[in-house]
């Protein structure tokens, strides 16, 4: 293996730690959120609001960071983002009210804004198939974190104060910062100076690209059921069902492990496997699982098994959907992935708050959540079918995992 290849692998490994920690930090604290709102004498509605603000923080800077990455270089921005996340993470344990806690969580979420820069580097440095496989691994962090997070978080809060969750997250942030500093490739800036008119034109072209916008809407909506589960499950399981931490962890593992298994399956696909097949097959599997979860919402074990099927199907089509959407734009990859990250976080935050409002109205119960998911999955499947309808007429490089 060449020195360059080794450096790229180390860069990917430490970038994986950085992204995993961003999600892990949120998921480790979820089992303690009931204790936190009690400590700060706050309403339980702040539990999902904490997640929403964390996601909104993750959508607050992308529109500016995209052009900046082209001007100052991607390496500097990723390192700056890791540093911001590290400082904000260490500030959370110092908060003394729910308002301070939410503000610190918002700033901590801003570290997520810089992740797309690393994604852009991966799509630029690797060929199509490798990029899809690596992106699938990175996407698995969004599900691996909810699997490992509750276990780690429950272990910490059972022995120590909840603030030690952020001490662990801070140590991981320091590890990724040092690792990226030593391994991240030094790429020259793409532009010598910022051309605001050109940037506006590029963003206008990206946001007016119907295929990109429709693909990102579909991707954001498809992520909502699992994200809502992560945000609401402490209320559903620990409070409403009065179940133990062991039951909470077991449900997380069953429901979210489907995504991890789908990521492993994608790694074994042949080089020319059609993206359209991943999109359609994954959509059908996801629909079957979600509809089953709605039907069997009164039987927790069957509900969890059906949600496992949904996460399996979601994992199959998610990476292919994002790849097809971002390659629909011919603008700079950094700007395109910035727009992608912005839209993704906005969609997630908006839908999560809608779920929160409806759950407040009809009760924070598992049955309410399951019923909300049923119309959502029908919209997702319809969007996937519409998105793939035009793929047969497009170039072979867009329909298949391109050969290189």
Residues 231 and 48: beta-carbon distance below 8 Å:
yes
Percent of the chain scoring above 70 in pLDDT: 90
Which residues does 210 contact at the CB level (< 8 Å), separation at least 6?
A: none
Residue environment code for 285-311, b if the CB has 16+ CB neighbours within 10 A, otherwise e:
bbbebbbbbbebbeebeebbbbbbbbb
pTM of the model: 0.75
Instruction: Indicate whether 370 pLDDT > 90.
Output: yes
Instruction: Indicate whether 394 pLDDT > 70.
Output: no
Distance CA 145, CA 165 (A): 13
Which residues does 190 contact at the CB level (< 8 Å), separation at least 6?
A: 70, 71, 332, 334
H-assigned helices in 33-127: 33-39, 46-57, 62-72, 74-91, 98-110, 115-125
Q: Can you read off the two tokens belonging to residue 204?
A: 């206008």
Concatenating the DSSP letter of every residue in 202-215 gives HHHHHHT-HHHHHH
pLDDT in tens, 279-316: 888 999 999 999 999 999 999 999 999 999 999 999 88
Predicted confidence at residue 186, as pLDDT, reads 79
Instruction: Indicate whether 216 pLDDT > 80.
Output: yes
Distance CA 101, CA 93 (A): 8
How far the first Cα of the chain sits from its last, in Å, is: 18
């Amino acid at each position: 293996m060449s020195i360059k290849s080794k450096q790229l692998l180390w860069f990917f490994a430490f970038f994986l730690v950085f992204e995993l920690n961003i999600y892990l930090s949120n998921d480790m604290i979820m089992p303690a959120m009931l204790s936190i709102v009690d400590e700060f004498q706050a309403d339980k509605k702040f539990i999902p609001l904490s997640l929403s603000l964390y996601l909104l923080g993750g959508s607050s800077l992308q529109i500016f960071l995209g052009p900046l990455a082209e001007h100052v270089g991607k390496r500097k921005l990723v390192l700056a983002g890791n540093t911001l996340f590290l400082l904000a993470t260490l500030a959370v344990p110092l908060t003394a009210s729910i308002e301070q806690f939410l503000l610190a969580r918002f700033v901590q979420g801003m570290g997520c804004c810089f992740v797309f820069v690393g994604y852009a580097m991966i799509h630029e440095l690797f060929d199509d198939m490798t990029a899809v496989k690596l992106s699938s691994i990175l996407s698995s962090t969004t599900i691996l974190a909810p699997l490992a997070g509750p276990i780690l978080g429950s272990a910490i809060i059972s022995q120590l104060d909840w603030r030690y969750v952020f001490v662990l997250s801070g140590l991981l942030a320091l590890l990724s910062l040092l690792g990226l500093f030593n391994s991240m490739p030094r790429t020259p800036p793409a532009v010598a100076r910022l051309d605001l008119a050109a940037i506006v034109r590029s963003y206008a072209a990206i946001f007016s690209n119907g295929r990109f916008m429709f693909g990102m809407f579909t991707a954001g909506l498809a992520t909502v059921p699992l994200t809502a589960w992560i945000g609401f499950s402490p209320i559903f399981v620990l409070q409403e069902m009065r179940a133990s931490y062991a039951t909470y962890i077991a449900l997380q593992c069953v429901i979210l492990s489907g995504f991890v298994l789908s990521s492993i399956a994608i790694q074994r696909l042949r080089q020319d496997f059609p993206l359209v097949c991943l999109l359609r097959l994954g959509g059908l599997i996801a629909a079957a699982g979600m509809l089953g979860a709605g039907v069997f919402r009164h039987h927790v074990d069957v509900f969890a098994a059906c949600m496992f099927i949904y996460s399996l199907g979601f994992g199959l089509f998610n990476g292919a959907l994002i790849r097809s959407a971002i390659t629909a734009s011919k603008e700079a990859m950094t700007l395109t992935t910035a727009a992608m990250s912005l839209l993704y976080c906005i969609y997630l935050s908006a839908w999560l708050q809608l779920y929160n409002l409806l759950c407040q109205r009809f009760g924070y119960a598992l049955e309410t959540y399951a019923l909300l998911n049923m119309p959502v999955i029908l919209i997702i499947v319809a969007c996937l079918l519409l998105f793939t309808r035009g793929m047969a007429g497009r170039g072979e490089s867009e329909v298949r995992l391109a050969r290189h």
